[in-house]
Amino acid sequence: MRINAITNWAYGVTVLLTGLSGAAFILSTDSAIKERQAVEQHLVLDTLGEELALGAETRSDEARLYVMRGDERHLEAFHRAEEEERRREEATKTATNLGATPAEIAALQDIVREAEALDKVEVAAIDAYQKGDRAGAQVRLFGPEHERLQTALLETVARFRDLTNVRTGAALNEAQERSDWYAAAAKTMLGITAALFLSVLYFILKRRVAMPLTRMSGIVTRLAEQDYAVEVPLDRRSDEIGEMNKAIHIFRENGLERDRLDAERRLDQQTKDLILQMMHRLQACQSQDELAEVVARFAPQVFPNLAGHLYVLNDSRTLLSRVGTWLDPQHSAPTFPSSACWGLRRGRPHVSNRGHSDIACQHLDDEGVIGLCVPLTAQGDTIGLLYFEERSEEEFAVEASRLYLELIAENIGLAVANLQLREKLTNLAVRDALTGLLNRRCLDEALNRQPRGQAGKPLSCLMIDIDHFKRFNDEFGHDAGDVVMQYVAQIIVDTVGDAGSAYRFGGEEFTVLMPDAGEAEGFELAERLRMRIGTTPLSHRGRILGTVSVSVGVASAPDDGPVATLLTRADAALLDAKNHGRNRSVRASGLVFGDDEVQRSLA
């Protein structure tokens, strides 16, 4: 039979079967509508009965609560429930329109009558309660008559729901069976139609043309969407289909190469952006901890497969200490001498044990670990080390990342050097060169920051003076005098600790500020200082210097005076200690300020 005849017969049969299946679907839809109507009727009637029962229970509860508590809110709720119950009773009159049977309508009428009887008992109870007969009201609401009416109402509701369940269930099953039969018939006809259509397609469209074109159409669509992961089966035919297959292969390979180049370019740009952000933040760091945090945050983003440490050299350039870490490296020591790293020795990046072809650094605890050490330099000086450790089986791409590694290391090195230089300059500006204590300028600034009113927190001040200090300079030389001042300063720092701040006031005088401490605490600290300083003899270059004693004046604010005169009062107490034999502590609050010497010191 000719293909044209087969096509015409197939077309006619397909149209016939399609019409029959359409009619079956229409009948099935009509049955489904009837099924839905039956379900809706069941839900409406069932809900109506339930609402009548619940409304009766609600009214009973509100009436009982009212006669028990006397709260008008329960009376109002009772009347509202009563109005809602009347509306539901009106709705039962329209139950005939919902398809209710005479038995169901009779049950509904029984529910209404029983609800009205129950309502009369409750209304009578409320009237009795309002007339002062509380006991009678409670007897009506909790008595056997009320219980009987309420039980009868619930039983009638249950009977009504059983009747509706039986009727609507039967109607629902009938409609469902009819709908299922028509749907099965429609599906069968559609299946026959589909089988016929597919058979015709199979015999009319030759496999050698249709199948390759269909397959290549999907491949071309995915390639047009730049999905180059699609597999293109190789077809070695020598006709147009084969040439088309070969062209698709070439297009896919070109797309894969272009994607690879684009991915490398995007990754390179992302790496540059991350490095630029890292540089900006390194320049804004104000402490070594901030710098370590910046490096630990950005290094994993630049090199996601590498864990690492940031090390900084100590002042003597002999020991490296870890100040930052990321991604939990396991094989490098937290501290090690600078000679233990080949990268520092060579002054250039060093890969330990790469392919067992190079020597491993001594600070690694496993010779089989691959580690990369990048020295940090600034202006020709080595100041630290960046250590990287592999987290996967991938090898270090040192050559490909050399520029980035050197750029990051150079910027981190400059940032560390700037912070160290800033710290040195800050120490020179705020600390005394001989004793290491804070200088007079810091003392003035600390006092200026204190509240000036009487509501401020307590603040104690100790003025400390080394007794007979000139003797050490005259007898043993100025170097010995410097040793004495350093000794006293160190004991002051150790004794004060976190309780306050120590300053060099000038010459052989020192000052201690103790926030949140009164004069009693300050005097106690002064005595501890005096005892510790005076119990240890000193020697210098083999010569015994003897013991050192100090005189201490203690003053506090704001209880004993304003902050503005704190130093003056402490100095006056110090002068009194020196005038009364030295090697003692004196409180400013115990001074008599009419004394001429004290007046002169305050002036």
Active site residues: 508
How far does CA 380 lie from the centroid of its chain? 42
Task: Name, in order, each residue with C-beta under 8 angstroms of 538's C-beta and a sequence gap of 6 or more.
Answer: 483, 484, 487, 544, 545, 546, 547, 548
421: exposed, middle or buried (Cβ count in 10 Å: 0-12, 13-18, 19+) = exposed
**C-alpha–C-alpha distance, residues 585 and 519, integer Å:** 12
- Read off the tokens for 489: 């300063």
Contact 489, 504 (CB under 8 A): yes
Q: What angle do CA 194, 197, 203 make, to 5 degrees?
A: 140
516: left (phi over 0), alpha (psi -120 to 50) or beta: left
**C-alpha–C-alpha distance, residues 212 and 205, integer Å:** 12
**C-alpha–C-alpha distance, residues 236 and 232, integer Å:** 12
C-alpha dihedral, 319 to 325 to 329 to 331, nearest 10°:
10
**Residue 223, CB-side half-sphere exposure with 13 Å CA sphere:** 20
Under DSSP, is residue 428 helix (H, G, I), strand (E, B) or coil?
Answer: helix
End-to-end CA distance of the chain: 132
- Read off the tokens for 569: 């009062």
The H or E element spanning position 403 is: helix 398-430
CA 197 → CA 6, 16, 33, 200, 203, distances in Å?
A: 11, 13, 32, 5, 10
